[in-house]
Amino acid sequence: MNVMNAAVLVSDPVLIFFIVLVIILLSPLLLNKLRIPHIIGMIVAGIVVGPYGIGLLERDASFAIFGQVGILYLMFLAGIEIDMYHLKKNLKKGLCFGMYTFLVPMVLGTVSSYYLLNLDWLTSVLLASMYASHTLIAYPVVSRFGLTKSPAVIITIAGTIVTVLGALIVLAICVGIYSDGSFNVGEVLKLMLRLVLYCIVVVYTFPRLTRWFFKKYSDNVSQFVYVLAMVFLASFSAQMIGLESVLGAFFAGLVLNRYIPNMSPLMNRIEFVGNAIFIPYFLIGVGMLINVGVVVKSWDTVYVAAVMTVMATLVKWIAAWLTQRTYKMNGAERSMIFGLSNAQAAATLAAVMIGFNIGMFGEEVLNGTIVMILVTCTISSIITERAASRLKLMQLEGHSEESGTAGRSSNTLISVSNPITAASLVELALLTRSPYSKANNLYAIHVRNDNSAGSRAIGRNSLDVAQQAAASVDAKLIPIERYDLNVVTGLVNTIEERDISDVIIGMHRKATVIDSFFGSKIEQLLSATHRMVVITRCFIPVSTITRIVVSVPEKAQFETGFRRWVMSLGNLTRQLGCRIIFCCHPDVQPYIRGVLHKERYDIRAEYRDVEDWDDFVLLANRILDDDLFVVVNARRASLSFNSGMDELPGFLQKYFSRNNLVVLYPEQFGSDVATAASSIDPLVSDVTATPSGLWLQVLSYYRRLIQLRKRFTQRKRVKKIDL
């Protein structure tokens, strides 16, 4: 069978898609055994089955479309997975690397092209701009190792934007000079002006539109389609003003980054679709462009290809080495920067095609570029995978040595009572849990005290919704359907049986006028267990929260569970990428800073001095609709308890009834916990039970009198908490 017949046999779209899926499936399975990155397998498979191989497939419109979508998807993932706090923190280093990886290739590439390839100066500059640009083709390797927040990765991504933009400007200048015979400064200034206006429009419109859409439509499919639509809108808009579409996709990722947490169903769907379909299609399409036969076509082609490949690799290594020396980085970080920035693909291919079509490049340069793409992509994949494994090992070793809670178990229990709130409770639990805990089990429980068919159906449905929410982010959730005397008894027994550390429960809705704000069930639960209890009520999706404001009582640092709740809020802030503001006594602030520093929570944390516990009422006009207000409360027998906390339910009901709210009771040990009264209602306890209980009640009222006197003497003092 000849090549033409083979191509005819696989012209059917169904069979073409089947062959591509087989390549995507088998490449990782076969090459993993040989310790070869599967990215190389995709490219090699494209060479073999493409028109320059056995001719099994033709690079038709489907590969052109899916390939273009794949490179845009790749840049979008790089922008959406980056941590904005770390980006701002390493922006100076990224800009420095961007200058290195642009200027070094431009200087050395121009000189080598002029003297070694005998090109004129203008053509040499254009060829050097191809060396300067690069494609993050090995980024899926970094994502698979969970190193997207590594400083070396962030520096490389920031530098990529600088060098691609610089290469684009050089390309426009060279083409203009070649076509018009002179350098047109006005065109370059117009391009920069269009770039500035484009950034302003996207930054202003995309976040507002996204927040509105996510609040109004919570369906995962609708949100996924919306995100893709915004990405391609940004890419097309960038292309319309004369920029590369990949810059638009990356910028869209940075803008939408804030609204798509890493541990969310939407992020899981975005990564899955890209890594399973679009990005492999792009890699296979790159392989189809490579004609290995051009290497042996003539010695001139071999020479040009060798010079281009060596220079493209050498200049990127020098740029990575200079960055390492400038900021005293280790060898693994230098290898990561070099590996990610060495691959030449999309931007390089576009530049060489433009130069070839207008007559600046000959066929030798075109063929040499194809060989350079193959070699640099191979080197990039191998170096990046080796560097990623080293960095991941160093990261795990460093965390296990410095973190005091790395090996501590963290079992979370979510109480689900109905299917409506089950998914949101699971999402909050996933966002607050630590990924470094030795045992990090997630449980969902529905407790019923009757065996009716309706009660069983509600319980089963609630647990199914909870399981689906956890499965959407590849998390394992263990459902528990329990029959017990009441909800509190079932929860307490499960806490002891499963060694639960955190309990997450939805906030009670008042059924009658005489009903308390939290409800009797939560009050009884707080009296019966010393574990951390989180009571939550959110009116908007967690991903659309802009700030977290935390009210912390005095002496909170002396509680047993202080470290755990600080870490939970640190995890939540890191996942959401928002700002967290701690309103607390000055004596508490150093301890919060210490926990965040030791556990390596590089988050935007701010602190406000609050002298009195009841000052959080002054925050009522400062808490916005998109904020999450967290109140760290205390049980009556705890060290941080004060009599002013008895008024907490009334304050929350009066001043924060429309705010997103979390009331957190830290873990607390002590022999009085099981019999102590709740901080919600002083009359819950039996004051005639024991002398110790009566003494505790008298002490509580004494504290209350002191607090009232203090408020009366400070009534005329004007307070203001600026958030």
Q: What is the pLDDT of residue 690?
A: 36
β-bridge pairing 532-537 and 502-506: parallel
Written as one string, the DSSP assignment of 570-594 is HHHHHHHT-EEEEEE-TTTHHHHHH
Interval 163-215: pLDDT, tens? 888 887 887 788 777 776 666 677 778 878 888 898 899 989 998 999 899 88
pLDDT-above-90 percentage for the chain = 9
Q: Alpha carbon of 718 to those of 557, 581, 615, 656, 688: distances in Å?
A: 28, 21, 11, 21, 42
**Average pLDDT over all residues of the chain:** 79
The answer to whether residue 438 scores a pLDDT higher than 80 is no
**Average pLDDT estimate for 558-583:** 89
561: exposed, middle or buried (Cβ count in 10 Å: 0-12, 13-18, 19+) = buried
d(C-alpha 661, C-alpha 628), whole Å: 6
Return the minimum-mean-pLDDT range out of 37-51, 418-432, 556-570. Answer: 37-51
Q: How far is CA 329 from CA 84, 90, 195, 545, in A?
A: 21, 13, 33, 35
Q: What is the pTM of this model?
A: 0.74
Alpha helix ranges (H) inside 613-647: none
- d(CA 253, CA 227) in angstroms, rounded, equals 9
- pLDDT for 468-488, tens place per residue? 888 888 888 889 888 888 888
d(CA 455, CA 469): 21
- Cα distances (angstroms) measured from residue 504 to each of 26, 132, 434: 43, 51, 15
% of the chain with per-residue pLDDT over 70: 84
Q: How far apart are CA 250 and CA 247, in angstroms?
A: 5
Residue 204 identity: Y
Going by pLDDT thresholds of 50, 70 and 90, the confidence category of residue 722 is low
- Distances 578 to 261, 471, 570, 619, 719 between C-alpha atoms, Å: 10, 25, 11, 19, 27
DSSP 3-state of 446: strand
Residues 6+ apart with CB under 8 A from 713: none
Q: Among candidates 291, 369, 315, which has minimal Cα distance to 52?
A: 291
Amino acid at 516: S
Name the 3-class secondary structure at 264.
coil
| Strand order from edge to edge, sheet including 547-551 | 477-483, 442-448, 412-415, 502-506, 532-537, 660-665, 627-632, 547-551, 579-584, 604-609
The reported pLDDT for the residue numbered 435 is 66
Measured distance CA(26)–CA(21) in Å, rounded? 9
Rounded Cα gap, residues 214 and 198, in angstroms: 23
The pLDDT-based confidence of 294 (bands split at 50, 70, 90) is: low
**Given CA atoms 36, 41, 43, 45 in this order, what sign does their dihedral have?**
positive
Structure tokens at 441: 């089990």
Looking at residue 317, what is its pLDDT? 93
Strand partners, 449: none
Confidence category of residue 707, pLDDT binned at 50, 70, 90: low
Closest to 494 measured CA to CA, from 462, 519, 528:
528
What is the rounded CA–CA span in Å between residue 77 and residue 340? 14
Query: Looking at 3-12, 249-258, 410-419, which range is the least confident one?
Result: 3-12
| 621-637 pLDDT tens trace | 788 888 899 999 888 87
Classify residue 407 as exposed, middle or buried by CB count within 10 Å of its CB (0-12, 13-18, 19+): exposed
Q: pLDDT for 670-699, tens place per residue?
A: 433 333 333 333 333 333 333 444 444 555
Are the beta carbons of 416 and 442 closer than 8 angstroms? no
At 605 the three-state DSSP class reads strand
Whether the pLDDT of residue 501 is over 80: the answer is: yes
- End-to-end, the C-alpha distance of the chain in Å comes to 75
Instruction: Give the C-alpha separation, 249 to 188, whole Å.
Output: 22
Whole-angstrom distance, CA of residue 283 vs CA of residue 263? 27
C-beta separation of 39 from 102 below 8 A: no
pLDDT, tens digit, for every residue of 331-354? Answer: 888 999 999 888 877 667 767 777
Residue 635's alpha-carbon distances to 526, 641, 677, in angstroms, are 7, 6, 8
Residue 258 pLDDT > 80, yes or no?
yes
Answer yes or no: are the C-beta atoms of 635 and 533 closer than 8 Å: no
- Residue length of the chain: 723
